[in-house]
A and B are shown apart, each in its own frame.
Chain A
Amino acid sequence: MGHLSGERLYEIFARQKRADRLEHIGTVSAPNPELARVYAWKTYDEATWFEMVVAPRDAFCAVNRDEVPFTLHPVETV
């Protein structure tokens, strides 16, 4: 997913029930957290979510790999 300059990618996590774990459900591109929240809520509206949170992709720290987390098209080398 491409994004405009000045925009960041935000990863979206949600759970349907309080007892569920948060799961990664998708990504949006947004210029600020306010719009990231709106876009996430309005785009991923397929369920009645108990909770949804967003975080900028670049806030995630890779643990065991060097590449950027959430790479949508992983390089074909192992």
Chain B
Amino acid sequence: MSLVRTDSFKSADELSNPAREALAATLLSLADNKRILGMRYGEWILGAPTLESGIACSAMAQDEWGHGRILYATLKDFGLDPGVLEHDRPSEEYLSSELLDSEVEEWPDLLALNLLFDAALSVQVEALTNSNYEPIHFKTRKLLEEERFHFEHGRGWALRLSETATGREALEAAFRKAMGPSLRWFGRSEAGFGQLLQAAGVSAGTADSQRQAWLDRVVPVLAEAGLEELAAEFEANAELDWSDWDADRRRGGSGGPDAETLARIRGDKNRSMLMD
């Protein structure tokens, strides 16, 4: 959905306090998720089922780290220091999904991150691209072009695995695990960043419209892969469990990236080599 940009915001200073905080949190959440998702892709460079998919994982890892870098840099406009955000926060300050807290053990679980969660991030980026916050407009074009191929990779593998009963079952189990966290990631209908940004005239999308945009993207792939029952479960999302939902960190549970993940995404080993 595109907006008529009659009153676009040229910097974060022009936003009201609640809208500025909501937008900063949205950008940081995207940056944190992409930083860690990149690491998850990277962990499969040597373990992917084929040489070609290993190369694709390597490329997607590089893409995500690039996107994370761009998104962290946008937070300068909000008076935040990207260096601190990238290298100096404890786990509990990361706004990353519980799906990314630790290394994924199985290829179908990586495909769930690839097809489902990565697409959720793209829907949010698209909403920002179409928003009234101008500084983001020109930073996301290449990002979204790259994401088209991430989605096609997830789709191509879903179709591949669905050719056998064993593959289809493994896929279904992995996708079902990722379903709740992915659907919830857009936030509650009646509250959350989406609503705040819409009320402030920054963005047209609400949590519900983004969730629907995401469903419109992923459900046809599930059907293509012969997972009709699961597709119906995705569509019937009225009963999402919000009991452990942390709206501020946009995740389920109070955890965060595990110690090994944190050390690697922050670059702890090479901290002494960091330069301004």
Contact = CB atoms under 8 A, between A and B. Distances in A.
Contacts of A66: none
Interface in A7-54: 7, 28-32, 34-35, 37-39, 41-43, 45
Interface string B151-189: 011011101100100000000000000000000000000
Contacts, number: 50
A74 interface: no
Contacts of A38: 56, 149, 152-153, 156
Question: On chain B, which size bracket covers the interface?
Answer: 10 to 19
Given A38-B153, A42-B149, A32 B55 contact: no
Secondary structure of the B contact surface, majority rule: helix
Nearest to A29: B52
Given A32-B160, A35-B160, A43 B153 contact: no
B104 interface: no
B217 to A, nearest CB: 15
A75 interface: no
A76 B145 CA distance: 44
Contacts of B200: none
A4 B153 CA distance: 18
Q: Pick the most buried of A28, A31, A41, A42: most chain B CB atoms within 10 A of its CB.
A: A42
Contacts of A7: 50
Contacts of A6: 163
Given A28-B52, A29-B52, A41 B149 contact: yes
Given A34-B152, A34-B155, A43 B55 contact: yes
A41 B55 CA distance: 11
B153 A35 contact: yes
Given A34-B152, A45-B59, A39 B159 contact: no
Which of the listed residues A28, A31, A43 has the most CB atoms from chain B within 10 Å of its own CB? A31
Contacts of A43: 52, 55-56, 59
B55 A42 contact: yes
Interface residues of A, number: 17
A73 B51 CA distance: 20
B52 A35 contact: yes
A42 B56 contact: yes
B160 A31 contact: yes
A30 B50 CA distance: 9
A39 B53 contact: yes
A25 to B, nearest CB: 15
B163 A34 contact: no
Nearest to A45: B59
8 contacts: A28-B52, A30-B52, A31-B160, A35-B152, A39-B53, A43-B52, A43-B59, A45-B59
Given A7-B50, A29-B50, A35-B152, 4 more contacts: A34-B155, A35-B53, A37-B152, A38-B156
